[in-house]
Amino acid sequence: MRSFFSTLLLLNWGLLLILILLAAGVIAVEDYLSNSLKPLLFFSYILIAIFGTFYVSFTIARKVTDPLSLIENKTKDINAGDFGVELPSPEILELAQLTSSINEMAKRLKNQFLDLTVEKEKFNSLLQNLKEGVFAIDFNNKFLFLNRNIPESIISQNSQFKDIRSAVKNRELLQFIETKVAKKAEGKTEFQEGSHFYNARLYPIKSNDIVYLYIGVILDITEDRQNQLVREQFFQNASHELKTPITSIKGYAETLHYRLKLEDGSNEKKFLDAILRNTERLVRIVEDMLTISRLENHKTILQTESFQLYELVKNVRDSVGVILSNKNQNLIIEIEKTMRVQADLVLMEHVLVNLISNASAYSPENSNIVVFAKEVNEKYLLEVRDNGIGISPEDSERIFERFFRVDTNRSRKEGGTGLGLSIVKHIARLHAGEVYVRPNPEGGSIFSFEFPKK
Ligand code: ADP
């Protein structure tokens, strides 16, 4: 294999050598020819020279243009996704190097293309076999893909590349998608279609703050909902069924206590006191169970009004005064007197009583409890801070579950029902807000209750 330059030189020198040899031959035979044949000899020599030059130029051009046109066709094929067979190696070194690079590139592209196809297949089979319904929407509100687990009654099948307005059949879901897409925000919602309940989530996929895709996930939560309903129903029935007998036991125990006038220190008095103490605890548990049932079944309708938070906290401080003074604790209010909130006054009182009683119950004597509130952007934030025993991060989520206690004995001793924080969580939800706990940097816990301004 030679470079283009040396091939050119070689062919030209070869031609020159042949022409010189021919010229020498012509000169040698010239003397033996008659004068009439000499012009023919010269003419033949010139013809051979012209033809030789033409042949050499043609050969050089073919050596370059043939491989170049092969390369051109090959790049067109690659562009069209056809990787075909390898190009043959041309004789000219520079073109051979170019051909080998193109062959390498085609091989690499073919492998990458195969890898991509395999990945796409894997992704597709994963997507189609998911329990959840999954879809993607582009920035023009058109479906890019949907898997087969989305019920036809929610989004029409074969809706790829269709506009969401024509493809999404469930109105609640469509409204949810449209609002989230308009705000370029992620979100979740629950909706009903026929006798089924669904949970939907939407996530914007961003690059450099530009949303180019939304991924949606739909999950059938009918079974969970039904289980939850059964649990709620049981809770509601149990609390209703327990209320009457417990009230009656309490009444009889109080009558006995009043009538028998038992001697202090006698076993009978100790037994009756224990019955009274425990029935009071049971009454509190049943009352809390009923409160939760009412909140869960949406029987409690929010009656919001505008009021001064400072005044409410001051009233609550007075009503839990005995609890605080028993442990010589001090309640500090850090709230602007003029701060007004729009909320359900009775339920907010419930929240404050629960959080302040807990702060007192789980803090040592002579400690301070701070109630702090402020407006943060579009939200109200209310905090109850204590310097008590604190809550470990593992328990921070669980304490809002019904009957969950970190230390059951201590909770019982403090007269707790294990339902207070569950009630607070329900009230937060009713106000479209949330409640959470974090460690107090000064020791103890900070309970935050926040909800949006309406
Ligand atoms: P309880 O009636 O037992 O206080 P709650 O639902 O009010 O029930 O609270 C659940 C559990 O959370 C409590 O038993 C206690 O272990 C923990 N807890 C609640 N408030 C505090 C607090 N301020 N400091 C430490 N632990 C707390």
Closest-CA residue, ligand 1 atom 7, reads 420
Position 120 in a domain: no
pLDDT digits (tens, 9 = 90+) for 368-413: 999 999 999 899 999 999 999 999 999 998 999 998 999 888 888 8
Position 41 in a domain: yes
Position 121 in a domain: no
Q: How far is the CA of 410 from the centre of ligand 1 (A)?
A: 9
* Average predicted confidence (pLDDT) for the chain: 91
Average pLDDT over residues 412-426: 89
Choosing from 115, 147, 168, the residue where a domain stops is: 115
Answer yes or no: do 27 and 48 share one domain. Answer: yes
Cβ-Cβ contacts under 8 Å for 139 (sequence gap 6 or more): 211, 212, 213
Position 446 in a domain: yes
Answer yes or no: do 100 and 163 share one domain. Answer: no
Position 270 in a domain: yes
Q: How far is the CA of 394 from the centre of ligand 1 (A)?
A: 14
pLDDT digits (tens, 9 = 90+) for 220-235: 999 998 998 898 888 8
Q: Which residues partner with 331 through β-bridges? A: 369
Q: At what angle do helices 267-296 and 222-260 cross, to 10 degrees?
A: 150
In a 3-state reduction of DSSP, which class is residue 28?
helix
Answer yes or no: do 27 and 110 share one domain. Answer: yes
Q: What angle do CA 122, 125, 128 make, to 5 degrees?
A: 145
pLDDT digits (tens, 9 = 90+) for 4-61: 888 888 888 998 999 899 889 888 888 888 888 888 888 888 999 899 899 988 988 8
pLDDT at 325 over 80: yes
Answer yes or no: do 233 and 199 share one domain. Answer: no
Choosing from 280, 296, 312, the residue where a domain stops is: 296
- The Cα–Cα gap between 433 and 418 comes to 22
Q: How far is the CA of 358 from the centre of ligand 1 (A)?
A: 6
C-alpha 195: how far from its chain's center? 27
- The Cα–Cα gap between 454 and 438 comes to 26
Average pLDDT over residues 175-183: 93
pLDDT digits (tens, 9 = 90+) for 50-82: 998 999 889 888 888 888 898 888 888 888 888
Answer yes or no: do 319 and 428 share one domain. Answer: yes
Q: Choose the residue to mutate in 285, 352, 362 for probing ligand 1, maximizing ligand atoms within 8 Å of C-beta.
A: 362
Answer yes or no: do 46 and 33 share one domain. Answer: yes
Confidence of residue 294 (pLDDT cuts 50, 70, 90): confident
Q: What is the pLDDT of residue 344?
A: 94
Position 126 in a domain: no
pLDDT at 301 over 80: no
Answer yes or no: do 104 and 136 share one domain. Answer: no
- Alpha carbon separation from 206 to 196, 209, 210, 214 (Å, rounded): 32, 6, 5, 9
Position 124 in a domain: no
What are the structure tokens assigned to 240, written together?
Answer: 């209703």
Which atom of ligand 1 has the smallest separation from the CA of 407?
16
Closest-CA residue, ligand 1 atom 8, reads 418
Which atom of ligand 1 has the smallest separation from the CA of 363?
24
Q: Which H/E stretch holds residue 231? A: helix 222-260
Range of the domain at 441: 304-452
- CATH code, 160: 3.30.450.20
Answer yes or no: do 344 and 247 share one domain. Answer: no
Which atom of ligand 1 has the smallest separation from the CA of 411?
3
Q: Which H/E stretch holds residue 371? A: strand 368-376
Closest-CA residue, ligand 1 atom 2, reads 416
pTM recorded for the entire structure = 0.62
Answer yes or no: do 427 and 414 share one domain. Answer: yes
Answer yes or no: do 308 and 448 share one domain. Answer: yes
Percentage above 70 pLDDT, the chain: 99
Q: How far is the CA of 355 from the centre of ligand 1 (A)?
A: 9
Q: What DSSP assignment string belongs to 252-281?
A: HHHHHHHHH-PPTT-HHHHHHHHHHHHHHH
What are the structure tokens assigned to 203, written together?
Answer: 């996530």
Answer yes or no: do 269 and 314 share one domain. Answer: no
Q: What angle do CA 183, 186, 188 make, to 5 degrees?
A: 115
Closest-CA residue, ligand 1 atom 23, reads 359
Number of domains in the chain: 4
- Lowest pLDDT segment from 77-81, 174-178, 265-269, 344-348: 77-81
Which atom of ligand 1 has the smallest separation from the CA of 406?
16
Q: How far is the CA of 399 from the centre of ligand 1 (A)?
A: 7
Which atom of ligand 1 has the smallest separation from the CA of 412?
3
pLDDT digits (tens, 9 = 90+) for 337-372: 999 999 999 999 999 999 999 999 999 999 999 999
Position 234 in a domain: yes
In a 3-state reduction of DSSP, which class is residue 8?
helix
- The Cα–Cα gap between 159 and 142 comes to 9
Choosing from 264, 296, 328, the residue where a domain stops is: 296
Q: Which amino acids bring their CB within 6 angstroms of ligand 1?
A: 354, 358-359, 362, 386, 388-389, 391, 399, 404-407, 411, 416-422, 445
